[in-house]
């Protein structure tokens, strides 16, 4: 169920800060697994064994200490969770003196354990949802199989439409995910799962785009408080629950563009980028080699060319911005034409250069 020895150590530590008495915890067999007195670790406590067996609180009197092994004056009490005894907690001292602490000690121990079990259950639920959405996105399954599994996890498949990715570059813990789900205002049915070491996948219900943007930015701001940096966000199209794989691929493309453009990107809004990111890498490299490749070592000329294209061929405006004479700019543009073997007065050549520059700058 859980590591009771580790939990027992935490309980003893918590109680030692509340009361000035020696405290110990035994397992269900009566062996001490945690104690404020290190000498008692791993020893057998016969009084705890009896308390566990009979499920009763026992005062360890002087007479009992003489008869039972490993016992000192005090009180031992079974720790009972969901009507099941799982161990024993004890306080050392004269029974009459430590009795006033008995209820507090047992209550702290039981609250500690029930809280731990509750957190374990939440973590298990989050992991199961993570495994489900990982399979949904990476494997092939029938709609019936997907629906059956969704029902087991209490997921209403009719709610969810699309996926958003947040690039965190940070390994968030399950507690972080729980906290995000608790404080987010995007949608009460939002699902958030970790994807590898550096991404969050948000499974989004249908909602207006404006509300979606505001909600995603709110979640990003909360993550930013922890990581101290801005995070790229990419959003796939609304493809429906059974086609989340497609929305995920779109969100991956969108988040890659978001990393370069420093803004939230919706895949459905992409135009030229949609083409650029669909071109195989080796084809992109070859296109650049055939077009602006000879200019890539000439950073000044490349910058002049880009600015000239951005300003729609206004020589004077470009020259002013570069703080050079118009004739100097003319000379440089002529040199660019010579290096590339293209004409900047030819609309087809301009299209070729513009495409190459966009491909190069997205790298």
All domains of the chain in start order, with CATH: 4-120 (3.30.450.40), 146-276 (3.30.70.270), 281-362 (1.10.10.2840)
In the chain, the percentage of residues whose pLDDT exceeds 90 is: 56
336 vs 275, more confident: 336
Per-residue pLDDT of 44-84, as tens digits, reads 999 999 999 999 999 999 899 999 999 999 999 999 888 88
Q: pLDDT tens across 252-270, in order?
A: 989 988 988 889 999 998 8
The pLDDT of 118-132, averaged and rounded, is 87
Q: How far is CA 42 from the centre of its chain?
A: 39
Cα–Cα distance for residue pair 61/93, rounded to 1 Å = 10
How confident is the model at residue 1, as a pLDDT?
52
| 15 pLDDT more than 80 | yes
Query: Distance (Å, rounded) from C-alpha 19 to C-alpha 91?
Result: 10
Distance CA 98, CA 173 (A): 40
Best-predicted range by mean pLDDT among 13-27, 114-128, 211-225?
211-225
pLDDT at 309: 87
Ramachandran area for residue 203 (φ above 0: left; ψ -120 to 50: alpha; else beta): beta
pLDDT for residue 363? 54
Helix (H, G, I), strand (E, B) or coil at 163: strand
Tokens of 348: 């087809």
Contact 220, 200 (CB under 8 A): no
Report residue 314's pLDDT band, with 50, 70 and 90 as the boundaries. Answer: confident
């Amino acid at each position: 169920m859980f590591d009771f020895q580790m939990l027992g150590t935490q309980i003893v530590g918590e109680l030692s800060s509340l009361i000035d008495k020696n405290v110990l915890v035994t397992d269900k067999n009566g062996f001490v697994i945690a104690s404020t007195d290190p000498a008692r670790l791993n020893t057998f406590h016969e009084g705890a064994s009896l308390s566990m067996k009979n499920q009763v609180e026992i005062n360890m009197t002087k007479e009992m200490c003489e008869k039972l092994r490993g016992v000192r004056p005090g009180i031992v009490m079974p720790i009972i969770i969901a009507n099941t005894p799982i161990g024993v907690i004890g306080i050392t001292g004269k029974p009459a003196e430590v009795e006033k602490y008995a209820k507090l000690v047992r209550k702290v121990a039981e609250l500690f354990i029930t809280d731990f079990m509750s957190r374990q259950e939440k973590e298990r639920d989050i992991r199961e949802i993570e495994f489900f959405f990982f399979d949904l996105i990476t494997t092939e399954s029938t709609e019936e199989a997907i629906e059956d599994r969704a029902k087991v996890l209490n997921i209403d498949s009719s709610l969810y439409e699309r996926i958003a990715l947040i690039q965190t570059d940070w390994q968030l813990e399950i507690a972080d995910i729980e906290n995000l789900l608790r404080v987010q205002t995007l949608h009460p049915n939002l699902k958030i799962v970790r994807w590898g070491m550096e991404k969050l996948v948000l499974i989004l219900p249908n909602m207006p785009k404006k509300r979606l943007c505001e909600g995603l930015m709110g979640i990003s701001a909360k993550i930013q408080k922890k990581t101290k940096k801005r995070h790229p966000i990419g959003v796939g199209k609304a493809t429906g629950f059974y086609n989340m794989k497609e929305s995920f691929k779109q969100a991956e493309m969108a988040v890659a563009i978001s990393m370069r453009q420093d803004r939230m990107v919706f895949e459905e809004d992409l135009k030229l980028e949609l083409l650029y990111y669909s071109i195989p890498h080796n084809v992109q490299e070859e296109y650049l080699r055939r077009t602006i490749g000879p200019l890539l070592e000439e950073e000044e000329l490349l910058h002049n060319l880009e600015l000239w294209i951005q300003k729609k061929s206004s020589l004077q405006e470009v020259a002013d911005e570069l703080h050079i004479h118009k004739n100097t700019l003319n000379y440089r543009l002529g040199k660019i034409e010579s290096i590339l073997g293209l004409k900047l007065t030819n609309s087809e050549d301009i299209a070729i250069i513009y495409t190459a520059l966009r491909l190069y700058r997205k790298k």
